[in-house]
Structure 1
Amino acid sequence: MDTPLDIATSGPVQVWTINSPDVGNAITGTEFVKAFEAAVDAANADLEVRAIVLTGAGKIFSAGGNVKEMADRTGMFGVDERAQRRAYVDGIQRIPRAFSRLEVPIIAAVNGASVGAGCDLAMMCDIRIASERASFAESFVQVGLIPGDGGTWFLPRAVGYARAAEMTFTGDRVDAATALEWGMVSLVVPHDELLAAARELADRITKNPSEALRMAKRLLQESRTSPLESVLGMAASMQPLAHLSPEHSSRISRWRTS
């Protein structure tokens, strides 16, 4: 039986593939949420994992919510309005919370349409690389909804407030070339080269020590919302640990002789 999130490990790199193409790689189901949380916790616990690539099976990255369940009022969309808030808190909102505790750098390899919560999922990643076939849409308003999964937090941090507002208020699609121009993605590549490009970037990341990568990521995340003094304080606390690590000692010795 297929799992909603396939995980393939090759050395220090993991490739996570959303594997529900029959429902548009929907990410709102309970099974996907549980699988994603388990993947995050496992990666955090395994210091051999130094980078993750996230992509989608088939022709799209993710259509976000399960449209059929929305229309039929089933699944998390089948509860009455009094329970709907709790359904979001206990459901899809567990994904951004999991991302917030993920210690490992994660690259979105966006292989096709990235819509609604699928667009937000890509924005949760540290880095995004897009296939030339990729597109992005913060499409909630077009079906009378709002970003219920943290999109209004992640999207402005990826593209700035004005671009995020344009995407959120119109729901219009942004193609790969425009996404590159806006800084939403770092690179656009031919479709058949997407995973290779993502893996090449992951390999460049994984050449560096695991603990230093994880601490650097935490500082970057804290810098999104914390004042300078708080970030400086965290850095001052983390740096002695880095100085005392065997990886620092061996690598700084090589630098001195290179």
Structure 2
Amino acid sequence: MQDREHKNTFSGRLITGLSEAFERVRADGQCKAVVLTGYENYFASGGTKESLLQIQDRKISFTDSNIYGLALDCPVPVVSAMQGHGIGGGFAMGLFADFVVLSQESVYTTNFMQYGFTPGMGATLILPRKLGSSLGQEMLLSARTYYGRDLKERGVPFPVLRRAEVLPYAVELAENLAEKPRVSLVTLKDHLVSDLRTQLPSYIEREVAMHEKTFHQPEVRELIQSRYLGS
């Protein structure tokens, strides 16, 4: 992912490009693994200021694109090489991968509540599932920012490496996966993520319902306008 102009926020260009890339993976019967990464110190930075304001105005919904579910729906294993900052929906999207690698120097946050609205993008499902109930709920409710090294100290079940080591580690892992027969990889992934795939639509439905209660408050618009500084 490399939308330098928007620092890997979920711009229209990033959403379209990423969706098309995963479609090519789905159509490629030779592909056995995917490495999802960003550029320099950005992995994925969540919604743009404009899109948050449009959701607040009821003009769009985060469900208008399924960017959050691309890694989960991908038939082959996905390695999320979060070499840079993972913010809001960008962090949640990365956690839906089959393997996650974090950077010691990067920041990770689900900062939805910083703007006064409840989380979306499947975050209420994937954070407690991947990070554990206690840490997942803490991140969702507090909207605090954590360095990768902080999460390592909290015992997250992922490798947390120096930034320069993240992508090489992820590529090595993908190469290991690629040694296996594709049909076996697809079959085992289908089994391992079946519960997540089944549960995600109901969580998205409930997140949308929570947005109806929380996103359209006047103070939310004020918080987006005053606190959104870009990535």
Q: Residue in 1 aligned with 2:158?
A: 186
How do residues 33-44 of structure 1 correspond to structure 2 at under 5 angstroms?
Answer: 33-44=15-26
Check 1:101–1:133 CA distance in 2 against 1; reply closer, same or farther (3 A cut): same
Check 1:33–1:156 CA distance in 2 against 1; reply closer, same or farther (3 A cut): same
Q: Residue in 2 aligned with 1:60?
A: 42
Check 1:80–1:115 CA distance in 2 against 1; reply closer, same or farther (3 A cut): closer
Check 1:58–1:212 CA distance in 2 against 1; reply closer, same or farther (3 A cut): same
Quick one: distance in 1 between partners of 2:56 and 2:153?
A: 42
Quick one: distance in 2 between partners of 1:226 and 1:194?
A: 30
Check 1:216–1:57 CA distance in 2 against 1; reply closer, same or farther (3 A cut): same
Aligned residues: 199
Q: Residue in 2 aligned with 1:25?
A: 8
Check 1:65–1:82 CA distance in 2 against 1; reply closer, same or farther (3 A cut): closer
**Identical aligned pairs, as a percentage?**
25
Give the TM-score, by structure 1 length. 0.70
RMSD between aligned residues: 2.3
Give the TM-score, by structure 2 length. 0.77
How do residues 197-208 of structure 1 correspond to structure 2 at under 5 angstroms?
Answer: 197-208=169-180
Quick one: distance in 2 between partners of 1:221 and 1:134?
A: 27
Deviation at 1:142, TM superposition (A): 0.9
**CA deviations over 1:86-136 (Å, ceiling 9, x no partner):** x32213xx1134334211111111112211111111111111112221221
**CA deviations over 1:218-246 (Å, ceiling 9, x no partner):** 1011144779xxxxxxxxxxxxxxxxxxx
Flag the structure with larger Rg. Answer: 1
Quick one: distance in 1 between partners of 2:83 and 2:72?
A: 23
Please list every run of 5 or more consecutive structure 2 residues that lacks an aligned counterpart in the other structure.
Answer: 200-231
- Where relative contact order (Cα < 8 A, 6+ residues apart) is larger, the structure is 2
Quick one: distance in 1 between partners of 2:182 and 2:86?
A: 30
Quick one: distance in 2 between partners of 1:139 and 1:76?
A: 13
Q: Residue in 2 aligned with 1:81?
A: 57
Quick one: distance in 2 between partners of 1:146 and 1:174?
A: 19
Given that 1:129 and 1:185 are in contact with CA atoms closer than 8 Å, whether structure 2 keeps it comes out as no
